[in-house]
Structure 1
Amino acid sequence: MNLHYLTTLVIGLLAITGLKAQKSSNLIKLNLLPLSVGNLAFEYEKTIQEHISLNGTLSLRSKSGLPFRSIWESGVDDTYNILGEAKLAAFSFTPELRFYLRNKEAFKGFYIAPFIKYSNYHLSTILSVDQSDYQKEVPISGSLNALTVGVAIGSQWRLGDAIYLDWRIIGPNYGFNKGTFEGKMQLSAEEQREVRKQLDNFDIDVLDLKKEVSAEGVTITTKGPFAGLRTALSLGYRF
């Protein structure tokens, strides 16, 4: 074989091998659990050392009714169906640093992963004000931002040449939130009393809600501690 062609073939094989090795340090995943409630959660993981990787999760939810509504209603006094009328959209981004403890090879085995999570929730609902001769609807909408830190534990398995299964068993997190929800509408004195009565009977234990009602409408604010719990069952492809 001509030396030139042999050299070219060797260099080409080395280039392909190097490219394959470089590509195999990436893993994309889809979390299967939130699909049932209309959430999409994508993950991207990349090795940075033999047993250490960076993982990022992007979660999106289009505006729709509250997920797990029955659970919300069991923990919240919702006499006036405020949650029943609610629509929720959400976005979150969570970078984490994974340490694989029982394997030198990243992407495989038991791991511990400290993380930071930023979340944005957009919520809208309607207060119905019933008077003797008419009914008035007061639309309320706004957003809540939360920043939390936590540690997740889980395990990841290789199911095939490039297919992986990631089980994030649990990931408690804690931090702070700040949110504002408003409904701008002219309200009479009688309407204000009715709205206050409804809001006084509505509380969410995990949020410190401050409610203001005036002739110009309704303002609800929250600021303080915020907690969450992460879990996932993700199917991934290594490339």
Structure 2
Amino acid sequence: MKKFYVLMAALLMAAAATAQDGPKNAIKVNPLSLGVSTINVSYERVVTARSTFQLGVYYTGYKFTDTKWTGFGITPEYRIHMGQEESAIEGFYIAPFLRYQNLKMTSPSFSNDVNAENKSTLTTFGGGGVLGRQWVWGKFALDIFGGPAYNAGNISYEDTSDSEVEGVNRFKGFTLRFGVSLGLGF
């Protein structure tokens, strides 16, 4: 029994020595995405003393001119924190990320039928990297980030017109990813 107590005390001391102050998790929303009819939520978890993993998901109902986009995206991201902050979830970071998007598009058809619509699906896969800074004050988190991204994908058309859908290039090729996220750490 004495060995058990010694082992438990050693484990507790090791855990206390490696434990950091501050939150180990954060749930955040990007309020800028609301401006384009999108809800963007992310969950971040401490992995090591200087790295975190974040998984972001979004749903959009964005309308650009006469084209309506509805769908979702998933963005896994590994963050490498540069400084020695109180918590691994806080400070400057660089983060490579991947992104998968599946978007349904509806736009008016310019055929003789007034009520006709072009319907198609855009599926993209890409990635990139961001630089950012995250602050944590108690339970409140503020995250500002930005960087380049590249998405490749294809469009499948519901009809046989294969006409280019307006605005599709906003989701393909080289783009910039940026945002401001607000959330709670725990």
Per the normalisation by structure 1, the TM-score is 0.62
In structure 1, what is the equivalent of residue 67 of structure 2?
Answer: 86
Aligned residue number for residue 235 of structure 1 = 182
Q: Secondary structure at the match of 1:183?
A: coil
**Is 2:89 aligned against 1:107?**
yes
1:65: which partner in 2?
A: 63
Q: Which residue of 2 aligns with 1:191?
A: none
CA contact (8 A) 1:174 1:228 kept: yes
Matches within 5 A, 1:1-239: 24-62=23-61, 64-66=62-64, 84-103=65-84, 105-130=87-112, 136-158=114-136, 160-168=137-145, 170-183=146-159, 206=169, 226-239=173-186
8 A Cα contact 1:26 1:47, kept in partner: yes
Contact persistence 1:25–1:238 (CA under 8 A): yes
Distance 2:159 2:100 in 1: 26
More helix by share: 1
Query: Is the partner of 1:33 in helix, strand or coil?
Result: helix
The alpha carbon displacement at 1:51 in A equals 0.9
CA offset digits 1:41-67 (Å, max 9, x no partner): 0010000111100011111113x522x
**Cα separation, 2, equivalents of 1:53 and 1:35:** 25
TM-score under structure 2 normalisation? Answer: 0.78
What is the root-mean-square deviation of aligned Cα atoms in Å? 3.1
Q: Matches of 1:46 and 1:129 in 2, distance apart? A: 51
State the number of aligned residues: 169
What letter matches 2:38 in structure 1? N
1:232 partner amino acid: G
Once the two structures are superposed, residues 187-217 of structure 1 have per-residue CA deviations (whole angstroms, 9 ceiling, x without a partner) of xxxxxxxx89xx59x876949xxxxxxxxxx
Report SS of the residue matched to 1:36.
helix
Counterpart in 1 of 2:7? none
Report how far residue 22 of structure 1 moved: 10
- Quote the Cα distance in structure 1 between the aligned partners of 2:45 and 2:168: 38
Conserved in 1, the CA contact under 8 Å of 2:139 and 2:185? yes
Specify the SS of the correspondent of 2:111.
strand
Deviation at 1:88, TM superposition (A): 1.0
CA radius of gyration, larger in: 1
When residues 107 and 229 of structure 1 are mapped into structure 2, their CA distance, relative to the original with a 3 A threshold, is: same
